[in-house]
Amino acid sequence: MCGQGTREKPNNTGKLRFAEQLLTTENIDILVLTETHTTTLQCSRRVQVLEQSGLAARAGVAVLTKAGAGWEVLHGEVIVPGHAIMVHLSHRMCRESFWLMGVYGDISKGQVSLLGFYERLQE
């Protein structure tokens, strides 16, 4: 996603609107969005944010679904702030549940930070 807007227009929500359209057009149930570049991704009439973790002006990962689609978060956990979340999901029409991990690797300092990220994730 690379932020909600652009460097020139930080309040532009065009990229979030694109994610909304993608959910609808492609009939996607769950979408993991990376590079949100915000601590709080706002819900809209069309999209529900199930879980998220972000850092101000960089990184960020969120799990989205269409508003009213029937998905429920049984448990959500930030594993690595701004970079990895784990969500236990179920749907109102099904007794089964599943875990989903959303990951956005930390490459802020190249291979060193990426290796450290994977070590933290494994822990």
In tens, the pLDDT along 28-56 reads 999 998 888 888 887 788 889 999 998 87
Cα 51 to Cα 107: distance, rounded to the nearest angstrom:
22
Distance CA 32, CA 58 (A): 16
Any domain includes 29: yes
Instruction: Give rounded-to-5 percent helix, strand, coil for the chain.
Output: 20, 40, 40
Q: Which two tokens stand for residue 21?
A: 């359209």
Residue 45 has, within 13 A of its CA and on its CB side, a CA count of: 0
Mean pLDDT of 9-36: 80
Residue 1 lies in a domain: no
State yes or no: pLDDT of 10 exceeds 60: no
CB 72, CB 89: distance < 8 Å:
yes
Query: Is the separation of the CB atoms in 54 and 36 below 8 Å?
Result: yes
pLDDT of residue 3: 53
Residue 99 lies in a domain: yes
How large a percentage of the chain has pLDDT more than 90?
A: 41
Which CATH number covers residue 83?
A: 3.60.10.10
- Write down the pTM of the prediction: 0.83
User: Who wins on pLDDT, 69 or 112?
Assistant: 69
Residue 12 pLDDT: 39
